[in-house]
Amino acid sequence: MPSEVKPMNNHMNRYISEHGKISVMNSNEDIVSIKQGDVVVKLHKLVKIVDPVTGQLTNKEHAPTLPKPEPIPTNIPQPPKK
């Protein structure tokens, strides 16, 4: 098999964009980049959350690779009044 050909896989996973849109793709990568025109969108793999008490998987999901949102600044300097 040529080196540029990847073997067929069947890893259907849910991914979320930084804007909150969820997509299902046949990939097992933690971060998938999709190019739409000139824009590159990064999708982050969603994983199930384990309940710390029972140790079982819950129906809740999170994306551990998704960057945390930056806090909104509260002390924005106002321009001087004329």
Helices (H) and strands (E) counted in the chain, each on its own, are: 0, 6
- Cβ–Cβ contacts within 10 Å for residue 49, how many? 12
pTM, 2 dp: 0.66
Q: Is residue 44 part of a domain?
A: yes
Residues 6+ away with beta carbon under 8 Å from 18? 42, 44, 66, 67
The answer to whether residue 32 sits within a structural domain is yes
Q: Fill in the DSSP letter of residue 19.
A: T
82 inside domain: no
Domain count, the chain: 1
- Tens of pLDDT along the chain (82 residues)? 566 776 677 888 999 988 888 989 888 899 999 998 899 999 999 998 888 888 888 888 888 888 877 777 788 788 887 7
| Encoded tokens for 76 | 């924005």
Task: Name the residue range of residue 20's domain.
Answer: 12-62
Residue 2 lies in a domain: no
Residue 55 resides in a domain: yes
Within a domain: 51: yes
Domain assignment present for 79: no
